[in-house]
Amino acid sequence: MQPDLELVAVPSQGSFKMWSHGYPYRTVRWHFHPEYEIHLITSTTGKYFVGDYIGSFAPGNLVVVGSNLPHNWVSNVPPGEHVKERCLVLQFDREFIERAVKAFPEFKRVESLLDASRSGVVFSQQTGAAAEPIMREMLATQGLRRIALFIALLDLLVQSPEPTRLASASYCADPACYSGTRINHVLAYIGKNLSQELRETELAELSGQSVSAFSRYFRRHTGVPFVQYVNRLRIDLACQLLMAGELSVTEICYRVGFNNLSNFNRQFLLIKEMPPSRWRAWQQLNASSPAGSGEAEQASAAYG
């Protein structure tokens, strides 16, 4: 079974992506991405798959997955039940580390960890327990503190007892082969043209399928309908632009591919459970609160 491509949207105002998700979730499938991933299970048990490796996981399972290495975690959760948070996930690209090594020679120790992650590596439960508070704080932190926590996490990993490699030495990830599959060709096209008008009929034609067949095929591989998948990516991009603070909500609406403001507001509210203006105000409050400045009070007053 060929893995699906996951489009990782690293924030434009950040060096890496730190997030969490529950179970079931749309990204829980056999997939790959060019970015490195540090994956920590916080709840549930089940089976995980890294390359040609199959193992059992429980809370505290901490794995570093290398670039383009297929992976997936499948939890033992009864059908119909939902877990609010299953894991914490940190994703970053190789160029970020290479730039860091040039600026700070101390980062060179991280290269051996990334080299080992080509096969995927799992750390001890003790290391997983030590990593959780660091990763959890990263979820809500902005600015230099976020970088400090990233360095603390890497320092924890490189100083921990040697992790266990997962995929066999003979296993070789082949992103060129994966990307040639029909669904990954479609997903890559969506990622490159997110700000343009995207029609399901045109994507069906691109994949050589009828619209109905494409609709079923797309949902089977991504877990969500085509329109919902595109809207989520656009809202993720909108959040990056809202955090940057340089564009108005209306400008962002059209920049990310929506053709009218009311639909943008409706989709944003559906996915983020608040309007974009309020989401931006919360982020401003979060960024300014450590200093206790008047700006924090103004941000709070903006939405009552």
135 compared with 195, residue with greater pLDDT:
135
**What tokens does 66 get?**
């290398």
Whether the model pTM is above 0.75: no
Lowest mean pLDDT among 35-49, 196-210, 289-303: 289-303
Sketch the domain layout of the chain as residue ranges.
4-165, 181-273
Mean pLDDT of the region 168-184: 75
89-99 per-position pLDDT tens digit = 999 998 998 89
Give the model's confidence band at 291: pLDDT under 50 very low, under 70 low, under 90 confident, else very high.
Answer: very low
Right CATH for 4-165 from 3.30.465.10, 2.60.120.10, 3.50.50.60, 1.10.357.20: 2.60.120.10
Q: Which of 15-19, 85-89, 143-147 has the highest mean pLDDT?
A: 85-89
13-50 per-position pLDDT tens digit = 788 999 999 999 888 888 999 999 999 999 999 999 99
**Domain 181-273 adopts which CATH fold?**
Arc Repressor Mutant, subunit A (1.10.10)
